[in-house]
Chains A and B, each alone.
Chain A
Amino acid sequence: MSGRLRTVLLLCALPAAFFVAFFLAPMAVVLIASLTTPDGHLTFAHYLRILADSYHWDVLWVTFRLGALTTLVSVLIGYPLAWYLVRVVRWRPWRRFCVILLIVPLFTSNIVRSFGWMVLLGRNGLVNDSLIGLGLIERPMRFLGTELGILIGLVYILLPFIVLAVGNALAKVDPALEHAAADLGATPAGTFWTITFPLSLPGLMSGAVMVFMLAVSAYVTPALLSGGRITVFSMLIFQQYSSVFDFNYGGALSITMLVLTLVLVTLAGRLSEPRRA
């Protein structure tokens, strides 16, 4: 019997060890570093420094504003796109092709795709050429080094998450429910807002939370598209670790961002939680 118990313990210990080694331990290292001085004494000085420095608050504000805007734009584009794929496209090969088109970029590196946008958004890039060609603007617009440029890059990279999450949710809505609504006198728009949209909301929320977290913590895309003019929080953290070598302060920055993100995501989750009777 004890041999069996040992097997059970071993089987439980393996995933636990994996979790500790790859998630808990790095986190603990960062947390401990953020609460100690370089020579190992407990201190809150790093956090006080962050709280007192208005520059950090400015960067945080830019970061979360970009994250929120990225989420909003991704939802506004992604929801109709998911609707199109799930509800409008009837021809299977075309739907499959669209989904592949959506997923394939995820297989390439963020760096490559962000560089692609640098080319596209440059002064003489495809975007400016097209806008001038269409007569919408007279002189090339500045995208690189603006929040708009970063926003475009982030939305492009994170859009698939929203489309997949919403598409999955929409596909699960029973068509009989929409028939029932129509039968009870709801117009197509009424049916959408009272039945389909509320039922797809959990999928939309999980997609939005994912996009928000990835946008807030993104480094490569903002770094490449900012042209050194805009700083987001992950760039501050990177500087501390790679240039200043202040692991303690870098750790405090990391934990600050983690806590703020978790608080915001939890609040959003509370607001959208399906109510219980």
Chain B
Amino acid sequence: MLIRQLKQFPRALSHFSTVAEPAQVKLEHFRTNESTVSSQGSQHIGRFYRIPLEERKQLFTHGGLPKSFEKQAKTFGEVCVMVREPAVEIIDYIKSSDLSRPVNRFVLHGDDGCGKSLTLAHVLHYGLQNEFVLVHVPWVPNWFKRPKETANSSTHEGFIDLPFDSAAWLIHFKTQNANLLPKLNLKTTKDYVWSKRETTPAGSTLLELIEHGINRVKFASDAITALLSELKQHSTDGKCKVMVGIDGYNAFFHDKTRILTENKAKVTPDKVTLTKPFLDITNYDWTNGVCILAVDRIALTEERMESSLPRYQLGKEGFEHCDPFIPIKVENYSEEEFENCIAYYLDRRWIQNVTEGFDNELKHLSAKNPYNLMSVCAPL
């Protein structure tokens, strides 16, 4: 009765809202309070940590978390990521590596739904907290499979520009590095002449360069090229450190895209202006940086989905481009991780109909694959 009366006053009811409050009373065994990624270690593996709202907004407003995961996180009222072996391993490597050496490339690989993208997100969170300039592409195939608009490049003969996608990426870059860029105050090293009237002179800040790309969509692709080469230059000079995170990286080396030219000819990825700068920045010829590249079966088309191993996914050309790299395999949940995940779902009331042995059945139905588990649990 009281509730019914309260319903007439939504503001009063919001006080009793069911949205999860931060767990302050007692921490459940499957959670950890450690939201500073660099202090997470092997003792935290299998536990969930909450990404603070501010950092989440900065990192993932324009993509970065898998869509289904994001939906689920919205339902749960919090973004909790499990601390897992591959992410901890990469962060350990980054911490112990000498950044003055040529960049280390980490290639994430694994079966569908194992958590490659979330591992990448986890490492990006580390990058954000440790003042890396983030060069993050949420999902490369978006550019090649469903581009917003295509245009012939004005600067490179025979190349295709993706003006809107490029501008969107610039906004993404700007958001992710909103705190860092003004602080570092990086300047362009040379003049960029866009047209007769428009130039970005040497000595203007990188923000101005980005702003120009966003405002003049026509030059967004070229702005990215300029931006990435500037970043490479600055990090090699030791003015900043850069973390490159690219999901679906193998799409750059695939032999087809859905982009058509004006005379309806298919375009290969190497004829898209965006490809070159991102391949450049994943090259080994610069320092003070780190590259995390996720290769994914579904980044390619159906005829290239036989194996999820890097050699097959990247192809000969891509493999040689990345070589030498550190392969990191993302596996299905371990026994402990699986139990924690079930405990977390129970805590979030995501699983409500509990009968005896339900977890055992779920384990075998999903084969402990994180994505499968998520989808199997969805109707429960």
A in complex with B: no
